[in-house]
Amino acid sequence: MSQIITGSGCFVPSVVQKNKAFLDHSFLDNHGTKFDLDNQTIIDKFNSITGIEERKYIRTELKTSDIAHISAKKAIEDANVDPETLDYIIVAHNFGDITGDSKQIDTLPSLASRVKAKLKIQNPKCVAYDILFGCPGWVEAMIQAHAFIKAGMAKKCLVIGADALSRVIDIFDRDSMIYADGAGATVLEESEEIGGILSHSTLTFTADNEADFIFYGKSYNSEIMNGDKFIKMQGRKVYEFALNNVPTAMKQCFDQPKVAIDDLKKIFIHQANKKMDEAIIKRFYRLYKKPMPKDILPMNIEEFGNSSVATVPTLFDLVLKQNYKGHSLKKGDIILFASVGAGMNINAITYQI
């Protein structure tokens, strides 16, 4: 038996924030000092590195569980399954439900329980729980769903990645321009078809202080003393860590099912930074002594920004349904899901459509 994605869906926020919206911000370094560069130069440099031209935010009245629910409904409809037959609902996120007028994290009850309630599922045997795993959360939740099905504990699992990072950004931090909101969902089912999840791999690095690379910290503006905390990142360390570790981790995953590297059609990697992602894939192919193929890497970070756990399932759904930017998939294609993020965690899945 195999584990096949039978449905997918995503929520694309309607509020578009272009780079020029940050021209009037007062950016400070981590010591609270204003940069010598003007904002236009800061934004241009940011764009050249990350590739981000705009990002998408959710409307004020929405929360993470709301957009998780919308993407879930789309995936369920796409899979044509009865929600009452779902064995697990797993929601990957990092900050829970945060309202538009508050920075307080709300994870009680779990977002998965909230999604189950919004779906009006009556079956108590449908188990709903959350996973906190940094940006690789959706990939890891897929790995857990795969394990449940393989062990005979489930036949159908709904896996969701959703975050609203616009609610946890420090407006005085240049990195605030990276983050976005979004949600993506998939239904993973037991199947007699050939394909599905062929292999997976997960790593967590903490021995050299990697756990501190992405964290929740105070504003760079020391005058803000109300206790609010925001998403923070040691950007250079994250960049170097990813380049040094992600390609090898991806190879460890991809080599397990003995699939030829030339048969790999697409790589869906976490949309964190365009320059970094391209460098990771080039290094990945260098391990096989091959150049990076021209059309291997779909990217949507230019217009979507970094929506954390939502980037991979959102991009997958866009390519699958819309042939996004000319990228398409067909039955039998071998693809690779991969992600890196807070923890520091790295994971990957080899999958056959």
pTM: 0.95
Residues near 168 by Cβ (< 8 Å), separated by ≥ 6?
95, 98, 103, 179, 216, 229, 230, 231
* Average pLDDT taken over every residue of the chain: 96
What per-residue confidence (pLDDT) applies to 225?
A: 65
> To 10 degrees, what angle do helices 311-322 and 137-150 make?
80
CA 295 to chain centre: 21
**228 pLDDT band (50/70/90 cuts)?**
confident
Region for 289 from its dihedrals, namely left if φ exceeds 0, alpha if ψ lies in -120 to 50, beta otherwise:
left
DSSP H or E run through 237: helix 235-254
pLDDT digits over 160-214, tens only? 999 999 999 999 999 999 999 999 999 999 999 999 999 999 999 999 999 999 9
Closest CA to 86 of 196, 7, 189: 189
Cβ atoms of residues 351 and 196 within 8 Å = yes
Closest CA to 178 of 257, 231, 127, 242: 231
The torsion angle over the Cα atoms of residues 173, 174, 177 and 178, rounded to 10 degrees, is: -100
Residues 185, 183: Cα–Cα separation, whole Å: 7
List of domains in the chain? 2-193 (3.40.47.10), 197-352 (3.40.47.10)
Tokens 């040691």, residue located: 234
What average pLDDT does this structure show over 318-335?
96
Residues near 287 by Cβ (< 8 Å), separated by ≥ 6?
247, 248, 251
